[in-house]
Structure 1
Amino acid sequence: MQDSVLDRLTHVLGDRTLHGWGKSLGLSDGKIQNMRKGKTPDPELLSILSRTENVNINWLLTGDGAPFKVHAFTNGDDLQDYLSTALEDEPWRIIVVESYPEVTVVLHQPGQIDFAKRTIDYHVVEVLTGSRSKLLIEFLEQLARAGMLEVVQACTSLNKAEIRLGMVGPYWLFGNNDSCGHLTNNTRVMREGELEESNIEFQSWESSTSDNTQGIQINLMRAVVELLEQTLIEQKLTLTPNQKARVISAAYNHAIQAGATADTIQPQALTMAIDAVR
């Protein structure tokens, strides 16, 4: 449903305008206008997008795959080894998004990059996921005892799945200087022994959706996200990351209750949810 590079770039930007985002990078009016006309960003700008927005460039250019990069490990021991090495080299902050049956963590830290004769501040983000293993949990428990782990205070299974599947990026998670993301001011230090529980206990962003967050239908969720972006483009609307999350949750749960599938979900479900949050 995101048929062009411009459509997919619009999805990445969220509620940011193409012009405002381009100017923040130091792009000329001509380059911004060329992108608005559908011209593919040049290789240097694609590299900047990959780094600052954690974008999957293959998806941006072709529509194949997930919008944002996720490093998926085949087993938890490999994830533990990667985390151990990463923490030796960089001052990462670590947020545990989910711990059962899979472990999903978000590594983040402030970063800078030089582009177009200016220095750009951005949020360096890596999303890592892997199966739960004894070695991984023991390593994370060590970090928890040292006060080095954080957990999200308010999240639903739907939101966690979006992060794990690469459906949301750094701006959605952390915002920027002008706005807050979903993880901004929404974490707490993990308690010792918490990972030994069956899963971290989260409150729900939307109490109305808390009873319907088990057994996420991934294809349906992706269809909801894509249909939302199409609806926003067609109606020339913008939503904040928080509003988008609320619309996705409401539309997904409405589709479940109505027995809709990824092939049969109707735009009206998104329109009603959009009207409710605006």
Structure 2
Amino acid sequence: MSESLLSLARTVGREAAAFVADRRPAGRVDVAATKSSPTDVVTEIDEACERLIRERIFAARPDDGFVGEEGNDVAGSSGVEWVVDPIDGTVNFVYGIPTYGVSIAARRDGEVVAGYVINIASGAEWGSVRGTGSWRYDGDERRVLFAPVPESVAHALVATGFNYVPEIRAAQAAAMATFLPQVRDIRRIGSAALDLCGLAEGQFDAYLEQGLKPWDLAAGGLIAAEAGLVLSGLDGPPGERMVMAAHPAVAEEYFALVRACGF
């Protein structure tokens, strides 16, 4: 069943990516609204893309639930719930930075069982089914992902992001000032879903971010975990307070470092 959920996610996700790419105008995109702060933006294309995804999923599976970034959540009766970010990396989308994607995950009884992410700008696609691995698509072929072992925490390239609320941002900056000298470097790409897919591929050695919502984490988190990475929160499961991820060979040391830096 999880394979069929992934198949639907990919079909809908590819249509949604084409929808967004076709409607993005040249130059900067107009902002329709803001969320957590004046710099945390939403566009009309975000909202239209989420409507398209919801309509396509309910046409195929009318009894499922739906949780989306733009709201209008629907409670289902099937035990399956879709967790969707129509454009993860909206600020990149607004500015024309080619790193923004569609993220679609299916949860069964609260557990993510299938995840799909597509970079709208480049067309790169990733997928995963719980218990069977994760992969990058090459056409319809699947290139299975195995996260490489980092040389060391001190030589780790770490993907991260920052909250849009100024007070939280200031605290994160202070913690990062302690953290940064103890790793190779950081990268702030602007899309959590694409960061986690990049981590699964070996583009990064580790990850940390605060403030992730379920739609930011669901698909990319499964893809990273099924590539062999460990995901954790500061004192429990990964969630809005913190998401940390690293290879098992360095995870304990890396997580201890993040905690010691005061995030």
Larger Rg: 1
- Of Structure 1 and Structure 2, which has the larger fraction of its residues in strand? 2
- Of Structure 1 and Structure 2, which has the larger fraction of its residues in helix? 1
Normalised by the length of structure 1, the TM-score is 0.30
Normalised by the length of structure 2, the TM-score is 0.31
